[in-house]
Chain A
Amino acid sequence: MIVEFGHFALVLGFVVALVQGVVPLVGAQRGNAGLMAVAPAASLAQFLAVGTAFAALTYAYVVSDFSVLNVVNNSHTAKPLLYKITGVWGNHEGSLLLWVLILAVFGLALALFGNNLPPALRARALAIQALVAFGFLGFLLFTSNPFARTMPPPVNGQGLNPILQDPGLAFHPPFLYLGYVGFSMAFSFAVAALIEGRVDAAWARWVRPWTLAAWIFLTLGIGLGAWWAYYELGWGGWWFWDPVENASLLPWLAGTALLHSAIVVEKRDALKSWTILLAIITFALSLLGTFLVRSGVLTSVHAFASDPTRGVFILGLLAIVLGVSFALYAWRAPHLKGGGLFRPVSREGSLLLNNALMAAATGTVLLGTLFPLIVEVLGMGKVSVGPPYYNYTFGILMIPLVLAMAVGPMLAWKRGRLGRALARLVPAALAAGVAAGWGILRSDTAGSAVVAAIGMGLAAWLVVGTLVELLERSGFYRHGPATALRRLPGMPRAAWGMTLAHLGLGIAIAGMVGSSLWKVESVQVMAAGDSQTVAGYTFAFHGAREVKGPNYTAVQGSFTVKGPDGATITTLDPSKRSYEVRSMPTTEAAIHTTWVGDLYAVVGDPAKKREGFVTRLYYNPLVPWIWIGSVVMVLGGLVSLSDRRHRVGVPARARTARRQTDGEGA
């Protein structure tokens, strides 16, 4: 009964979305306040409808209602409650329902907190949001109904893929979707602005917090995914340039560019049509990701199993949503006139440079991801584009970008002085030199020495350069440390946000480069009593025993790790689980984190030829910096979001009054 209720609610949401997508648009066109007022009410109704559907499916999972096909295919009574709930989105239908729910949540948020927006803009943005929802609800209802029944119900379900029974992966999709779908706000605002034919500083100020929120979620989602891969796949890798990973990176890159270009629109009333285009492209890339994962058009480790009708439906949806938006863009954007002027050497100039490089980087990842498909469609055979390609091309594009990242914030608005900025950055250059030298000494092949010198040098340049900018901003150089200390806490949150985000990226770069270059690995058979030394750390193996989990059994190994000085550092208990229902094993690496690296142990199968187990021991240097850097970036986003000029509900007048006196960046 509850299941049918959920299905009905979904149909209701579908109808409401259509109303919300049409009526307010008409109202805004005619200046009819009554019709426009449908939008917020409909947003609430749509949220309630989709929310009810989601709750109904969750209920079916929690009570293990095996008359629902989706529950049969992805759940089991023996599963812990947490994974019964997260199993709701561990499959195509449920995750799509979550996607639509998040879309409704963002729509509702806009309806609730958008009171200070011009009514027509709000009505149009909500209508666009609803039209996207309409398409996806149709996709759900017509090709991927999560409420389909099965008769007769089986005694038990087939269980959730054990790989998904993990906290990292359980919460990776919701964050990812919050990011993807969050960019729909920028998209809706962009399309609404194109309909109105007007983009101004106020528009940019409304779009930025939504984009920032989506960016924060997407950063978290990508970070969680990488972290999960790191500890679960059992060999210390965290990024593989897999098509589906790229699909999440693409909107992140475009969204990052959008965050920066929106600043120029806000400050200088320039780069308007470019910013609108970026807003559309960012969401387009989110949709592309969804399409790639669900259509089976690309093969990837992460893809959902797919059937062709779904692929066709979602391709049609993609073509309509984006085709209309880009056509509208081609029609209206030429008439958007930018006002403010600035010199190439200025804050705006550096933001523009950032955008050019980010766009090239986004295009590169897109090209690499789609190239095999394009070559095949053109009948030129099959090629693979693997990590080496991205490491060369994307890596090289990142060099000027990171170099400019330290300089840009040092430049004044409108016209800056490059010489003065560079003179201030001497400490950063020195730090980069030292870090590069350290990187070379740490490496043992010429190839890795070059990469290490560049990577570590850039990381140090960015971190120290960002700190120099903080000092400069605080008045340290002009008024001394006392003034600086007094001023720092009072600096705009958005400025702190930029500082943190840039610092985080610097830290993460060091982690990414170090962990890829200097990983030490040792694979061997070990019996109880054996020891193995890896990168100076001695792993003593004490054997393995069987342990029992809620719905799995595991072989758990035990190691004691001693440092180079012989002192015991930690014990590591990696295990290999075997899930009863799907009889699939998963590895659970045991990791001991220090500030400069991870001690990482995995226990594998019993050895065939002699007594003992296959064990894999790693020293993964600087990996923690990737996670620390990502968290710092997210913190930066949050701090910036809390800036009172972004805070929703602040009267528009107060913001306009403050506009002229701002002196900070992202």
Chain B
Amino acid sequence: MFRHHIKIGYRNLLKNKTYSAIKIGGFSIGIAAFLLITLFVKEELSYDQFYSQQDRIYRVLNVSTNPDFQVNEWPSFSAPIANLLNTDYPEIETAGRLIVRDWFLAGENQFRKSTENQNNYEEGFAYVDPSLLDIFEIKMIYGTREESLSKPFTMVISKKVADKYFPNQNPVGETIILNDNSEEPYTIGGVMQNLPSNTHLEFDFLLTFVGVEFWDGEQTDWCCQNYEPYLRVKPGTNIQQLEEKLLAIKEDYLLKELIDTENAFAEVVKNHRSFRLQPIENIHLQSGVIGDNFKHGDLRVVQLFGAIAIFILLLACINFINLFTAKSANRAKEVGIRKVAGSFKGELVRQFLTESILYSGISIALGTTLAYLSLPFFNQLAGKNIHIPMDTYWFFPSLVLLTLVIGLLAGMYPSFYLSKFQPIDVLKGNISKGIKNSRLRSSMVVFQFTTSIVLVVSALVVYNQMQFILKSKVGFDKENLVLLHGASTLGDKTKAFKEELGRLPMIEDVTNSSSFPVDGTLRNNNQFWINGQQKIDKGVSAQAWRVAGNYHSSMKMNLLKGRFFAEETNRDSFATIINQTMAEKLGLENPIGEQIWNGGAWDIIGVVEDFHFENMKREIRPLVFFKTRGNSAIIAARIQSEDFSKTMASITGVWNKFMPNQPIRYSLLDESYAEMYAETERTGNVFAACAFLAILIACLGLFGLSTFMAEQRTKEIGVRKILGASSSNLFQLLTYDYLKLVFISMIIGAPIAWYLMKKWLQYFEYRIDIVWWFFIVAGVLVAGIALLTVSRQALKLTFSNPVDSLRNE
């Protein structure tokens, strides 16, 4: 019986080639999109899920309910935290600290073997306690978790690095020089397996904390928060109770330090600070507001993608259902005869379901191939490195499962619908050719176009927000600025280098700082008070940037009050320039001449207009500038725009003269600025791609439907022509119905899109308004495409000879 069903399905498929191609084509596209998005979602959800002690690994977070802080959770603590966790809390099996941000040797360094002179720029340095090798279950290739980092100045490198610098040898015991500092060489203590792509941790060089003290007394001081602790609890630990016990840290150490220094901030900490243990698997997707130094995914984006995947699949199923039922008249006779021949309804349902599963099987095979072919494009779009897991035990079984589920989903309604036909009606010829369940068919078409319109509007909004970000006045001139990185190794030669660079004809200006208004440059948060109030109020938390004297003029920032720093090195050593927001937060109407305090007093000499130094998702925060004492990580040159490559060649020449052992490394500020919004741009691209797919699938279905309707109406059109209808009358008649559906879709889709995009835009502190023409553009676009789709059939019919269609009656 089953074979019989397959056979019939197959013959039907071959017989109606156009319809089959539409059904399978739409299905395949939908399935390819569904597969890719599902793999993306799966990858995102798989982060940090592979530990053998999975449910016992946590990160410790500070939680502040103080409304003045933008960031309400952050992972950094003072140096003694690890010892404290290890000794005072029996529930904690082991704890360790991590530093990944740019901090002394963490972050990026110049790297060379002690036997060579050529420096190599490397990223991904982290300081770790040896216990983290155990907590993160790092797999060692050479050396052991216990021994590799147990001595001062030892490091563990990843296999990738080992293969690069020590191919085919065991590098343990080799000596490494960082940043030309041959007085403090490092020894390789071990090699670890490369970290998998689905962990929030990203590093290739682990430097031991053993023997490290960044300044005198630093390791026992509760002053500063630079360390991020991770821990593993003992089995059966009650996490909530442990979090409550951790409050002792606040009482015994944090508050004590603040009260000892008579810091008014103590009050805030006392009332608002608590601690949270974040399970390691939540770090990737659920750290949106946590200010840490990892790249994160976003659970909301993952959910959004998941929803879009399901919608696209639904659209594809709808095509199938619509065409199947539309063509059902042709199958009705078969149903009638089979019933007369003794078939029960259930048997027929099974037959039609088998047929739809056959279609879904073919479509899944095609869709998987399509997904495979479009994978590079998708990876670029989503900013991921996903592969199709052909080699896993579950991949092909899940495809089979998917085939069944989709086959049933799409085949259910048509099967029951078809098998309901009564033989007597069919055999009498009572079934009109165009079986009119058109209301259902229309609502399904409306569903498809509503989805399309929502996606088009979304893509438009995201695109416009992106343009807004890139074109809006940011408060400085981001064009034609080259940043030279790794400049701190210039040391005393910084001044000479700047001068020589400044003499090049195509260079307008040269300045230096470690902090620039793009991601990936130094950020440094501090607490400031109006001098004299440090024991009275809680102060203002602000960024503190050290910049060269000409920084503001080089960056072309706008001075609102007072003056910029003097360019001479020895002046303005105790002066500060603040931004507008800082002045507001301090409550100073006329800040010039006032002093701010932060372990020392600074004279405010200028106020600059607010500029965006962080993502526009955030409000502009208070910022304070000091004059740098000498060298810094970045030297910035403003160049003349023409002939970029020649300019860069000249700059490289100067660099190589000063730093023969360190290759030049540069970036363009405007590119880095755009990079900050790569995620936003990707979201826009995904919306655009999905909108395109949705419209494509919907139009495939519409094309099928209109072809079918045209077949049905051939005779009617013939009669109308003979009665004197003009071609344009007929064209309107044939397309009006479809345009009506698009119009209804617009009315339904507009408020949905408006609501969704309103919510999305709320992530941005600086955003566009949703204006009426987004909807008009989306509507006209979708209506236009729909009209093009149906007009082929309409025109064909309109210009056909009525005699032909009426002759065979």
Q: Does B bind A?
A: no
A residues bordering B, Cβ < 8 Å?
none
